[in-house]
Structure 1
């Protein structure tokens, strides 16, 4: 037995002609819709041109005044139906459809650990407002630019601590970066080797296609029990790439004001050799940042070198609805053909 689908009669709903429904469509041939106003215009021009060309029949009428009958308007019904038929044909030709497009992003992320020096010398203001504040701001921008990468955070002075595990919760990571401050580690100094060891420990079980440590410091190793070069060799053994950034200017740098209001200066001189050696062993690169703009450019370079490739898959499902308006058009055409054979049609005007 032939079974009629449940939605077989759905096309008869007047909801198909509502403004919201028509607005919801994507039109394959939208230019066809511009022809819609031409249809009633053609009918109007045809009526104007036919005013003086109508066939007339002389009739003998009785004396008296003729009364207007509403039924005389019925002769316009076939024309209106035919006009609607033509409008619906144009709507169907414009091919309304609804498109459901889904985008699936595929990315094989990189594991990155930011290792930041928070020792007392990072409070110097040769990079305004301070070395640490500039490093934090640039680190925030770096986090914003990553996609699908797990990022962790290690801070160090005389000791090293993991501030944030490897995570894709960038909001949590930004909050952790904001929380970094001077003297958050009581033991002052620069334990670069220990900081690298903590970062490596976070990444040693990682299965990411690329593992990166970015170390930001303004001095040489002065604390901790692990030699930085040995830590770099350990990173190399685990397939971790090391980028080192030496931050700060050489020479006299203002650091405080005495009771008399005089500015106090301290002589700074960075020993780059240690940081360069670490980067070389770790198959990475050393950078020197003596200004905030330089630091920003360094992070942009690292961002380009360690870019996660993101591929997109698009699933496009398009469903046509021109059949609905075509069915309505055929229904109106059949109605028009039936009316042409009834008393409603004015035979004098055909």
Structure 2
């Protein structure tokens, strides 16, 4: 605490900054002069008067008379400062800290040849990439990673909060990045689980975007979904594109663009997640919005209050003034005939 005898404690700006814990004591301060007036009124009736002849003196210039006001003024100011101390002046500063618990999210993007179908504009892959960018932009303090897969799975970007880095990776994704043909959903999910299993976050999410069933890879999607469940990873699967049913005439030559939803539904069910179907661009955008609502960042606000008390300052001043009053009581500055 700064030096208590500084006069800055009585400045208007400083006093105005206080918050008073017991402000009703301040209402008593205007009555302090009334107490002195009442004391003087009642005490004057009992004064013993001694008539002596003296020369007329200009009392306004008598410095001894002025000094006799020091004692009552000190006592009055001391009483006022005691009341100020009892009102307990404080300066309170509040600070709100927001603690956010981010979510660890792995985006699994199918880049097989069938993702070049144009039932979404301009094609399935570009539509998924565009919506993935918007999804990332809407997240807050989440760590997001990226896995791409076709006939095999590749971890393209580890979990990171550097969203600009993620945008760069999304821009570079092309179907020819993985030459192996097929759709290795199980392998991609296993890679994502491997990334997420060592994280310390309570919320772990894998978002699988694909348009077909598992046709390659060393690990089945059911086994991978069971691993995800074991490590506490929630799996959301998104079926991209319009489903096509093979007719009797072409049953032996089913288009590679056909969407098989059963595999994706099974994965989401095992992984404690949810299955979504996106047959056009607006539908895909709505899917990402729903996932964003389901996986909200948990945050809490902690308000901390720093309280600085200043009643001691005014109490020290009051004690000092009372000591001055007591010290001058037996001196020429007091009238012993009246006291």
Query: Is residue 154–residue 164 contact of structure 1 (8 Å, CA) maintained in 2?
Result: yes
Structure 2: segments with no counterpart, 5+ residues: 245-256
- Corresponding residue for residue 273 of structure 2: 284
Q: Evaluate the alpha carbon distance shift between residue 276 and residue 90 of structure 1 in structure 2; reply closer, same or farther with a 3 A threshold.
A: same
2:174 is equivalent to residue 185 of structure 1: yes
Distance 2:56 2:68 in 1: 26
- Corresponding residue for residue 215 of structure 1: 207
Distance 1:15 1:226 in 2: 82
Q: Which stretch shows the higher mean deviation, 79-88 or 181-190?
A: 181-190
- Corresponding residue for residue 130 of structure 2: 133
Query: Is residue 86–residue 329 contact of structure 1 (8 Å, CA) maintained in 2?
Result: yes
User: Tell me, what secondary structure is at the counterpart of 1:342?
Assistant: coil
User: Tell me, what secondary structure is at the counterpart of 1:215?
Assistant: strand
C-alpha distance after superposition, 1:167-196 (max 9, x if no partner): 5xx3x2x22332243552342775433422
> Shift of residue 54 of structure 1?
6.4
2:213 is equivalent to residue 241 of structure 1: no
Distance 2:188 2:54 in 1: 114
2:191 is equivalent to residue 198 of structure 1: yes
Query: Is residue 134–residue 292 contact of structure 1 (8 Å, CA) maintained in 2?
Result: yes
User: Tell me, what secondary structure is at the counterpart of 1:179?
Assistant: helix
> Shift of residue 276 of structure 1?
0.7
Structure 1: segments with no counterpart, 5+ residues: 1-6, 253-267
Note the 1:152-191 alignment, pairs <5 A.
152-158=144-150, 160-166=153-159, 170=161, 172=162, 174-187=163-176, 191=184
Q: Evaluate the alpha carbon distance shift between residue 237 and residue 126 of structure 1 in structure 2; reply closer, same or farther with a 3 A threshold.
A: closer
Alignment RMSD, CA only? 5.1
Note the 1:1-350 alignment, pairs <5 A.
13-14=5-6, 17=9, 29-32=21-24, 34-35=26-27, 39-40=29-30, 42-43=32-33, 62=55, 68-96=61-89, 111-117=104-110, 120=116, 124=121, 130-142=127-139, 144=140, 146=142, 151-158=143-150, 160-166=153-159, 170=161, 172=162, 174-187=163-176, 191-204=184-197, 206=198, 208=200, 210=202, 212-221=204-213, 225-226=217-218, 229-230=221-222, 232-233=224-225, 235-236=227-228, 238-246=230-238, 250=242, 270-288=259-277, 290-303=283-296, 322-345=311-334
Distance 2:183 2:172 in 1: 13
Query: Is residue 193–residue 229 contact of structure 1 (8 Å, CA) maintained in 2?
Result: yes
C-alpha distance after superposition, 1:11-57 (max 9, x if no partner): 76437836688788775x2424643xx52564279659979x96797
User: Tell me, what secondary structure is at the counterpart of 2:207?
Assistant: strand
Distance 1:328 1:225 in 2: 84
> Shift of residue 157 of structure 1?
4.8
> Shift of residue 153 of structure 1?
0.6
